[in-house]
Each structure stands twice: as C-alpha cells, then as structure tokens.
C-alpha cells in the first residue's frame, strides 16, 4: 500500500475491503498509531453490563485492543460490510473482566452496510464504536439517525475520524485500486450529531505538532 495521486480505479468499500482482507492485519499497528489507545480513556468506568456495537469492526482490531486491556462486555456485536474481513473477526473468546473473574462474552458478527437501515431493534446498545468509517459514508446524517435509534438513553458513540489528506493505493497483481472516500469536515459532523440529539465533544490528536485525527464522542 502506498500514497499517490495517480488516476486509478476507485472501488466501493465492500469491494475494496474484501479484496485486501487477507493483508489487512499487516496494517493494524499503523492504524492504531493514529489513536495511540486514547479512546480507552473515554470509555465508561464499568463496561461489563453493557451491550456494545462496533460499526466497521473489520477483522477485530478494536476488539483485540479491548481484550488486551481486559475490558469485558455483556455483548459485543461486530458489524462490517466486508464478509471476508468479518470472517477473520474472533467468534467467541474467553476474557477477564476488571474484577478478574473469568467469563465468556456474547459476541455476534453481522454483515451490514451502515449507509442502510441497521438490522437492530430500537435501543439495543449502550456503546457504539466506529473507526475509519465516516470517510467512506456519503450520508453521515443517516448514520447518526440510526445511532440515535439503536442506542439506549445515556448511550455513547465513539468515533475515530481520520483526516485523509492523500488517497492511498492498493496494488493487487498488475492492477491498482483506490477506495471511495468522502472528506467530511469536523464542523459538519458535529452539527449533524447535535441535530440528532447528541452532545458532541471532539478530541484532536496530534503527531509531531500536526493534527492527524479526531476522537469524537457523541452522548445521548
């Protein structure tokens, strides 16, 4: 993978992530470096009784971070548009909660497109994640409408929003591809969040004095 400005074929997220699914784990450390685990400091103090949804869960990068830090949940639903990525997500893993008691989480995997109506009942979740997702979504307003619907009262959504300055290119055999991207402004995301009844707080993340990333917290 590299960055370039050449004109190459642009794929939609489902095609692109299915294409690179087997190599995606090689970039976990690179993707995590944007956040440096800052989002963990924004999690509720007690999570063991929470029902959690990870939108754009991929192959389980965020879930593995949470497991390594001994977070446990009542249930964890992993959603992604790429069936090949989601197939690599852990199915059911044993974990330890903060008190040290051994337990097995209820982990579900659901193939879904966040640009459509999500296949979940109203007020099903307490906490939602989405990292490296909004930049692939044209209608951000619809995503927030769905989040307001499926989160319970006092529910929280944590978003990792990457400032994509250059498009990256994936080479597969003789062919090269880009993924479809939308460069949403932070101000617009905040406005949409508040319109959909969320309190919105953003946390800028810097690297060598350069702004590279935002963690956006939306609370009902």
In a domain, residue 21? The reply is yes
In a domain, residue 117? The reply is yes
In a domain, residue 40? The reply is no
Q: What does the pLDDT read at residue 2?
A: 44
Q: Report DSSP state, residue 159.
A: E
| Cα 180 to Cα 16, 79, 140, distances in angstroms | 9, 19, 15
In a domain, residue 156? The reply is yes
| Cα 18 to Cα 8, 58, 111, 178, 181, distances in angstroms | 18, 10, 12, 13, 16
| Residue-level pLDDT, tens digit, the chain, 220 residues | 444 545 678 899 999 999 999 999 999 998 898 888 899 999 998 999 999 999 999 999 999 999 899 998 999 999 999 999 999 998 554 443 444 444 445 788 999 999 999 999 999 999 999 999 999 999 999 999 999 999 999 999 999 988 766 667 777 778 888 888 888 999 999 999 999 999 999 999 888 888 888 999 999 9
Residues paired with 10 in a beta bridge:
178
Residues paired with 131 in a beta bridge:
160
Q: Which two tokens stand for residue 185?
A: 């402004």
Range of the domain at 15: 2-31+47-219
In a domain, residue 133? The reply is yes
Q: Which two tokens stand for residue 5?
A: 């400005």
| Cα 126 to Cα 142, 191, 201, distances in angstroms | 19, 22, 18
* Entry field: residues in the chain: 220
Look at the chain and report how many structural domains it folds into: 1
Beta carbons of 150 and 126 less than 8 angstroms apart: no
Q: What does the pLDDT read at residue 167?
A: 66
- The CATH number that applies at residue 114 is 3.40.50.150
């Amino acid at each position: 993978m590299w960055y370039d400005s050449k004109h190459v074929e642009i794929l939609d997220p489902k095609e692109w992530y299915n294409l690179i699914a087997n190599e995606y784990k090689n970039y976990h450390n690179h993707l995590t470096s944007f956040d440096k685990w800052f989002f963990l400091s924004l999690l509720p103090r007690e999570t063991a009784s929470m029902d959690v949804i990870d939108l754009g869960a991929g192959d389980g990068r965020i879930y593995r971070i949470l497991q390594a830090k001994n977070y446990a949940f009542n249930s964890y639903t992993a959603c992604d548009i790429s069936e090949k990525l989601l197939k690599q997500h852990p199915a059911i893993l044993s974990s330890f909660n903060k008190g040290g008691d051994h337990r097995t989480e209820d982990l579900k995997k659901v193939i879904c497109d966040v640009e459509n109506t999500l296949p979940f009942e109203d007020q099903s979740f307490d906490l939602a994640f989405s990292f490296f997702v909004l930049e692939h979504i044209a209608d951000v307003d619809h995503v927030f409408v769905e989040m307001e619907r499926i989160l319970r009262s006092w529910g929280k959504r944590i978003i990792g929003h990457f400032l994509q300055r250059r498009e990256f290119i994936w080479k597969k055999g003789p062919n090269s591809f880009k993924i479809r991207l939308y460069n949403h402004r932070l101000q617009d995301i905040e406005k949409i969040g508040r319109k959909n009844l969320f309190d919105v707080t953003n946390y800028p993340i810097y690297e060598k004095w350069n702004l590279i990333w935002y963690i956006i917290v939306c609370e009902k």
